[in-house]
Amino acid sequence: MAGVTRDRDDGSVSFVNRRRALLAVGGMALTAGPARRLLSGPAAQASAHRAVPAHHAVPAQPVLSYPHTRPLYYIHDTSRSIALTIDDGPDPVYTPQVLKLLHQYRVTATFSMIGVHVAAYPHLARAVHEAGHLIANHTWTHANLAGLPAHRVQSELTQASDAIHAATGVHPALFRAPYGAWTAAVIRQCERMKMIPMDWSVDPRDWAEPGVRRIVRRIMTQTRPGSIILEHDGGGNRSQTVAALRIVLPRLLDEGYHFAVP
């Protein structure tokens, strides 16, 4: 089965036939384009809860139905809820800066962590967990899972979950595929490990370092109630991301949004 991958030239979802194609995953279909909504399938609708302020240091827990046989692109909107997700850490330079901003604005986020980085910096993973944020599995090596056999997919996911559990004492309940590359094998492995597959609906392309203004503009113009916002604290120089978060967090709060975990 062909997988869904992210097109890093335009930031949109790429499908086999670009705009018109549909991908069947676990007996369901996703629509292409910015308004890609889940069309059908047996999985129950996911629900979100209001985020616990990070400064309370109560670990966040997702409220989700299971089994969940398709990725989440949006959270259920209650009172203008949105989700902030931070990928590719933990990083000794940028993760502490992001944590400081989240604490300042009392925002709870989901950190999609790479297993090898967790193993290298377990104290940072613990700090994220103890600050009340959610940690998602983001594979062991940030591998593109689309071309890997099932046993390699299993290894990438299990090693990362083991590292996160060793550092925090908690098994991750969410999984994010690097590059947004979803296949039937990935979905099946998530089901075996009782992890909800999570994608995103707002990609400001901060990983490309386009400049703080562009990151801010993309987040502010693309975010809607229910959006899952993608940002990064690892994988390169993330100073622009930190600077952009310093601007968008208070703006989004001023616009009446509430941050939740997926």
Q: List the catalytic residues.
A: 87, 232
For 160, the enclosing helix (H) or strand (E) is helix 150-168
Q: Which residue has the tokens 């908690």?
A: 170
197 forms beta bridges with 175
Say if CB 229 and CB 251 are below 8 A apart. Answer: no
**Distance (Å) of CA 35 to CA 13, 73, 180, 201:** 11, 10, 16, 9
Residue 115 structure tokens: 């297993």
Selection from 250, 262, 259, 214 nearest residue 108 by Cα: 259
Across the chain, which distance is largest between two alpha carbons, in Å? 47
Say if CB 125 and CB 167 are below 8 A apart. Answer: yes
The torsion angles phi and psi of 24, rounded to 5 degrees, stand at -90, 125
Helical packing angle, 212-222 and 239-254, nearest 10°: 30
Whole-angstrom Cα distance, residue 121 to residue 231?
20
Contacts with 119 (C-beta within 8 Å, 6 or more apart), sequence order: 163, 166, 167
Residue 62 CA neighbour count, 13 Å, CB half:
29
Q: Count other Cβ atoms within 10 Å, centred on residue 247.
A: 15
